[in-house]
Structure 1
Amino acid sequence: MKTRIIYWVLASCILCSCHDQMQYYEVTGTDLYTPYHIKLEYNEPLDSAIEKEFHQCYHSINPFDSLSIISMINRNEDMHTDSLFRAVFNKAIEVGNKTDGMLDVTCAPFINLWGFGFKKMNNPTPEAIDSIRSFVGFHKVKIENDIVVKEDPRTLLNFSALGDGTMCDVVANLFEKKGIKNYMIEIGGEIMAKGVNPKGDCWHVGIVKPTYDSLGVHQELQQVVRLCGKKGLATSGNYRNYHEKNGVKYGHTINPKTGYPAQQDILSATIIADNCMTADAYATAFMAMGREKAKLLKKKTPGIEYFIIYADKKGKFCTEYSKGFTQYLVEK
C-alpha cells in the first residue's frame, strides 16, 4: 500500500511539473471583426481568460454592442459607469485638453455621418455637418458620481480612437496579475509588449508603408522598431479605413472642429508610450493635427515619442521622428 502511495505521489509531481513548465504560446483570432495576435510565455495559453477580458471590455466601451455601457449612455439611459469606462473617458479628456480638442470623444455624430461609425449614415452634406456642430465638444460631457452628465442629450460618445489600445492594456493587465514577464499583444494593429521574444531578444515590430489597401494584403515595411522593457505602440493612418466619393478618398480621421475628414500632410503616425491607450489616443490626434502642430505637441508631452510618414510635394514618402524615437529604430 505504501508503495502505491509513493508511485501516486511521484506521478502527480511529474504531471504538475509538466503543466507548470513555462513556454511561449500564440493566441490568435478575430473578436468583433478585430483581429488579434498574442504571444506569451506562461504555463498555459490563457485563451479563455483573454476572451473573458475581451467581452468585459466590449460590454463597457463598445458602441456596436447595444447593451454596452457606452450604448446605454448614448441612449441617455441612467447608467453607472465602470472603472474601465472611467479610465478611458479620463484619458480621452486628458488628451483632448492637451491637443486643443483634436481628439474628441463626442465626435461620434460626425464619424457616423461620414460612414465610419456605429451608425453608417454616409450623408455628409454641409447642412448636416452644421446641424451637428452645436452638440459636439468634449467639454460638453463630464462624469459625476460615476454617471456621465451631458450638456445636450444629443451628444454621443465614441472611444474608437482608444479602443484597440485599451484592449491591449486590458490583456496586459491580466498578464501582469499572473506574473507574466514576456509577452506581445497585438490587437487591430496596436501593440503592447514587455520583455523578450522566444529568441531572447526584444520584440520587433514593423511600421507599414501607407498605401491605400483596405484589405491590408499588400504590406511593405517602412521601418522596423525594437520594443524593450514595457511599451505600447499604436499607428494611425487613413490608408486602410477610407471612403471614396466622386473620385476623392476620405479618411476615417475626422477633424472635430470642422466636421470634415482631416486632410493633413501626415499619412501615418506611430506613437510609443508607456501604455497602449495613450499611444492610440495620440496617434489619432497627430493625424488630425498635422506635422507642425504635432511636433509642438511633442515638446509639451514628454511621455510620448513619434514616427511620422508623410508625402513631399512630389509625392515621395518621407519620414520624420522625435529624438527619443531613435532608440527604437532597427537599422536596415
Structure 2
Amino acid sequence: MKKITLLALFVGLLIMAGCAPKTQKYVYNEGTVYTTLYHFIYSSPNGKDFKDSIELKMNEFGNSLSTFIPTSTISRINKNDSTVKVDPYFRKCFLKAEEVSKKTNGAFDMTVAPLVNAWGFGFTKKDSISPGLIDSLMKTVGYQKVKLVGDKIVKENPNTMLDASAISKGEAVDMVCDYLASHGCKNYMVEIGGEVRAYGVNAKGETWRIGINKPNNKGLYDDNDLEDVIHLNDKALATSGNYRNFYVKDGKRYAHTIDPHTGYPVQHSLLSSSVLANNCMTADAYATAFMVLGVEKAKKIVENDPNLEAYFIYAGDNNMNMVWYSKGFKNLIIK
C-alpha cells in the first residue's frame, strides 16, 4: 500500500488555483480509479478540462493491467488464454518489472501473486495458510519463470500468475503525465493512489510540494502529521509501507509485503520506503523492492544508482522511528 500525504496539499493548491491569474488556467481533477483515489492539477491551454479524456485513457490502461477486470490482458494471461497478445501498456510494465527484478535479485517479482492472494492481500480470497501451501505456491514463483517472447507471455509453470499492482499505478501516473504534456500542459502534478509525479510549478508559481507521512503502527494516519515535506519538479515519488495494510491473527502481525524468496510476509524494521526516480513506474517498483530488502540492502542499491534517491523510515531502538535519506533526497527537503 503506497501512501503519501497529498490531500491537504492538493486542497491548498486548488484554492491557490482559483486565485491565480486567469492566464494560468489551472484545472483540478479528482476521482476514483483502480480501487483508489486520484488527484490531478495542471495548467491547461485555454483552460480546457481533460478529465473525461484522461479517464478514458485510465480505463484503457486498466483493461491491460488490472487483475480485478476478468477480461484484462493480465487476467487472461493468468488464466492461460493462449490467444492473448500483450499490448503496449503490458509490454512496458513487464520489461520494467523484469529490469528491477534483476537489479534487486528478485526482491521485486510480479509472480508473487499467488502468495499475496494466499496471505489475503491480493485479488482473490485468502487461503488457510500452512507451510505445505507456501511450499506448493513457491514452485510457481520466480520472475525467471516467465518470459516475453514476441507478443506472447511464456510460462514455465501454467499455475504461475502475475500481479502488476506494485508497479502499474506508477505507470498509470506516467501515462497521464505524458498525455497532459502532449496536450500542451506546461505544469502539472499527477497523483494516483499516493504515487506522484510533478513538473513545472503550481498556480502560485512555486515548485510543487509533497508531504511524507509519519508511519503509525495502528494502521492510521493523519494528513497533518508529516515526517517531512519536499520540493518535486520533473521527478516522480512513490512510497510503499507496511504500516497501513496488515492484519493481526493470534496476536501476530502480518504485513502485506511478501518476500518472494521465502513466501512469508517480511519481518524487519523498515516501515516506509519513498523513492525518487525520473519516472513513477521505476519509483513504484523500487519502493516495493526496498520494503522486501530492508534498510541496509536497500541503501546499497540507492547509493550505487545515480538515478535513484530514497527516504526510509524504520523502527529503531525502543520502537522509536528513525529516518535515513540519500544525499540527493536531502537537497529536496524543505527546512
TM-score by length of 2: 0.90
Kept in 2, the 8 Å contact 1:169–1:192? The answer is yes
RMSD: 1.4
Kept in 2, the 8 Å contact 1:267–1:309? The answer is yes
Q: Post-superposition shift, 1:134? A: 1.1
Q: Post-superposition shift, 1:30? A: 1.1
- 1:152 aligned to 2:154? no
- 1:247 aligned to 2:263? no
Q: Percent identity, aligned pairs only? A: 44
| Correspondence for 1:302 | 306
Q: Which moved more, 1:117-126 or 1:140-149?
A: 117-126
Kept in 2, the 8 Å contact 1:209–1:219? The answer is no
Q: Which moved more, 1:212-221 or 1:263-272?
A: 212-221
What's the secondary structure of 1:54's corresponding residue? helix
Kept in 2, the 8 Å contact 1:182–1:194? The answer is yes
- 1:270 aligned to 2:274? yes
* Structure 1 residues 213 and 198: CA distance shift in structure 2, 3 A: farther
Kept in 1, the 8 Å contact 2:97–2:285? The answer is yes
Match of 1:311 among 308, 312, 315: 315
What are the superposed Cα offsets for residues 226-283 of structure 1, whole Å, 9 maximum, x if unpaired?
112x111000001111111112221111100001111121100100000000000000
Match of 1:26 among 25, 28, 32: 28
Match of 2:327 among 315, 319, 323: 323
What are the superposed Cα offsets for residues 135-174 of structure 1, whole Å, 9 maximum, x if unpaired?
1000000111111000110000001111211111110111
1:315 maps to a residue whose letter is N
What's the secondary structure of 2:201's corresponding residue? coil
What's the secondary structure of 1:271's corresponding residue? strand
Higher RCO, Cα 8 Å, sep 6+ = 2
2: CA distance, partners of 1:216 / 1:267: 13
Q: Figure out how many residues of one structure are paired with residues of the other and give that number.
A: 311
Q: Which moved more, 1:247-256 or 1:90-99?
A: 247-256
2: CA distance, partners of 1:219 / 1:71: 38
Structure 2, unmatched stretches of 5+, are 1-21
What are the superposed Cα offsets for residues 17-43 of structure 1, whole Å, 9 maximum, x if unpaired?
xxx965111100112421011101102
- 1:197 aligned to 2:202? yes
Kept in 1, the 8 Å contact 2:24–2:203? The answer is no
1: CA distance, partners of 2:217 / 2:24: 41
1:84 maps to a residue whose letter is Y
What's the secondary structure of 1:76's corresponding residue? coil
Q: Which moved more, 1:181-190 or 1:122-131?
A: 122-131
- 1:282 aligned to 2:255? no
* Structure 1 residues 317 and 216: CA distance shift in structure 2, 3 A: closer
Instruction: Write out aligned runs for 1:1-332 (5 A).
Output: 22-42=24-44, 43-78=47-82, 79-212=84-217, 214=219, 216=221, 220-228=225-233, 230-331=234-335
Q: Post-superposition shift, 1:124? A: 2.0
1: CA distance, partners of 2:144 / 2:98: 8
1:255 maps to a residue whose letter is D
Kept in 1, the 8 Å contact 2:213–2:223? The answer is no
Q: Post-superposition shift, 1:123? A: 2.1
* Structure 1 residues 271 and 82: CA distance shift in structure 2, 3 A: same
2: CA distance, partners of 1:26 / 1:213: 32
2: CA distance, partners of 1:258 / 1:196: 44
Q: Post-superposition shift, 1:312? A: 0.7
Q: Post-superposition shift, 1:55? A: 0.3
Kept in 1, the 8 Å contact 2:215–2:221? The answer is no
1:182 maps to a residue whose letter is N
2:296 maps to a residue whose letter is E
1: CA distance, partners of 2:150 / 2:110: 20
* Structure 1 residues 219 and 139: CA distance shift in structure 2, 3 A: farther
2: CA distance, partners of 1:217 / 1:321: 22
Kept in 1, the 8 Å contact 2:29–2:41? The answer is yes
| Correspondence for 1:17 | none
1: CA distance, partners of 2:177 / 2:96: 17
2: CA distance, partners of 1:154 / 1:86: 21
| Correspondence for 1:13 | none
Structure 1, unmatched stretches of 5+, are 1-19
* Structure 1 residues 325 and 166: CA distance shift in structure 2, 3 A: same
TM-score by length of 1: 0.91
Q: Post-superposition shift, 1:217? A: 5.3
**Max Rg structure:** 1
What's the secondary structure of 2:167's corresponding residue? helix
